[in-house]
Chains A and B, each alone.
Chain A
C-alpha cells in the first residue's frame, strides 16, 4: 500500500463512526427494533399534543396495559422517552433531543425499510449497473484478446439472459461473471479454431444441452468432469433454462463435484441453469443433446449425439438414480472415445 493510500485509509477510519458511538447508537436502535414499540412511538409522535397516556396507547395498539408499560420502560431506559405524572395519569413524550431523529426514523427510514422488504427482487436489478461495468473492466484486463466493447456486450447479454430465467436474483452478479467469463473463453477458443490457430495443447470440449439445464445436462456435465478431470473441457446449457437446478439433482451434483468447489468463485456459482449460446456450440467439439429437439444449432465440423435419457424433473428418487446410472455409462463411453488412452 502506498503512503497516500495509507493516509486515505486512516482518514476514512477517522471519519467513520467510533466504537463508542456505534455502541450507543446500536443500543438505541435495538430498543426500537420491535414492532410494538415502533407503533407506540409513532402514536406518540402523531398525537396532537405530542404526548399520550398508557391507557390511550393500550387501546391504540390493542395490547394490555402491563405490556405497554414494559415497552415504554425499555424506551425510557435508553433515553428516548420522558414520563410526566399529572393527576392520576402518566403522560409519555419523546425527549426533545430525539425528536428530530424519531421524525427521520418514522418519515424516512420506515418507508425505506418497508420498501426493502416489499421489493427485494428489484434490489439486485437496479443495483447491478456499476457491478456490471466493473465486471466488464476486469474481464477486459484478463482477456486482452477480446476487445473491451465485446466484453461489455457479453457481460450485458449474459446478465439479461440470466435475468430472463426468472426466479431469485440474489446471486445474479456472481453468476453473470462466471457465465460471461466462460463465454469469452469459448469465443476466443472458437475464433482460434476457425482461423486455424488452435494451440498444440487442444483439449476436447463437450457441450451437454437439454431444455432446462436443471437436470440431465447438469448431471452429465458433472459426471464428465468427475471422470475426465482436466482432460476434457465441459460445458452445459439449456434451450429454455430454468431458474434453478432441480432439487433432486442438486444433491447428486454436490456429491460428484467436491473437487470443483475450489475453482468456483462461490458455492452458488457451481451449478446454475444457463442459456444455450452460439459461442458454446462453436467452441465445442462434441455436442450432446438430450430432449431439446432442434433448438440446438447444427454447425459443420461438430460431432453431434442425441441421448434418449429420462427427465429427472419428472422422475421419482429411484428414477433419478436410474437416470444417473444411464448417464454415467454414456459419459464413460464418450470419454473413452475422446481420450482413448484411458478407460
Chain B
C-alpha cells in the first residue's frame, strides 16, 4: 500500500498516506491493465465459488476432489479453473504425497476476501 502511494506521488504530487477519496490519483494505464488482467481471471462464477470454498475451509486449503463434490462439477473442469488461477498467481498448488492441495496465495488473500464480502 505504501509502495502504491509512493509510486504515484512522484507523478501527481504529494499524496496523503490515507487520501480522501477525491484526492486519490487515478489509475495509470499500466495499473489498469494489470488490474483488469486479474479481474478477467476471477470474473467467473465457478472460480469465485472455488476461491470462496478455499477461503472458508478449515485449513484454508482444499483438494480437487473436495471441489468436485462441493460444486458438482467434473474433475477436468475444476482442474482447468485451478490451473488458470495458478498461472495467474492467485492460487498455489502444494503436492502432499499423491494429493495436491490448493491454497490462495497469501499476498492475494485480502484482495480475494474483498471480492467475496
Residues on A facing B (Cβ under 8 Å): 8-9, 12-13, 15-17, 19, 22-23, 25-30, 32-39, 42-43, 45-48, 50, 60, 103-118, 120, 122-124, 126-127, 130-131, 134-135, 138, 142, 173-174, 177, 265-266
Contact = CB atoms under 8 A, between A and B. Distances in A.
Which of A8, A103, A110, A173 has the most chain B CB atoms closer than 10 A to its own CB? A110
Given A38-B35, A106-B27, A117-B34, A29 B115 contact: yes
Interface residues of B, number: 60
B90 to A, nearest CB: 7
B58 A8 contact: yes
A64 to B, nearest CB: 16
Nearest to A29: B43
A123 B88 CA distance: 10
B8 to A, nearest CB: 10
B53 A16 contact: yes
A133 to B, nearest CB: 10
A13 B94 contact: no
Contact of A34 (B36, B98, B107): B36
Nearest to B33: A35
B27 A42 contact: yes
Given A106-B24, A113-B39, 15 more contacts: A12-B56, A12-B70, A13-B70, A19-B45, A26-B45, A30-B39, A32-B43, A33-B39, A38-B36, A109-B111, A110-B27, A111-B4, A113-B37, A126-B107, A174-B95
Nearest to B106: A127
A47 to B, nearest CB: 7
Contact of B32 (A25, A27, A39): A39
A203 to B, nearest CB: 24
B96 interface: yes
Contacts of A29: 39, 42-43, 48, 115
Interface of B: 1, 3-4, 21-27, 29-40, 42-49, 52-53, 55-58, 66, 69-70, 88-90, 92-98, 101, 103, 105-108, 110-111, 114-116
Contacts of A19: 45, 49
Contact of A110 (B35, B47, B55, B110): B35
B56 A38 contact: no
A9 B57 CA distance: 8
A114 B3 CA distance: 11
Contacts of B98: 265
B57 A50 contact: no
Given A16-B56, A111-B4, A174-B95, A35 B36 contact: yes
B103 to A, nearest CB: 8
Contacts of A173: 92-95
B108 A116 contact: yes
Given A13-B53, A26-B44, A46-B21, A114 B34 contact: yes
A131 B43 contact: no
Shortest Cβ-Cβ A-B pairs, 4 listed: A29-B43, A33-B39, A131-B94, A111-B4
B107 A115 contact: yes
A9 B37 contact: no
Contacts of A109: 35, 38, 111, 114-115
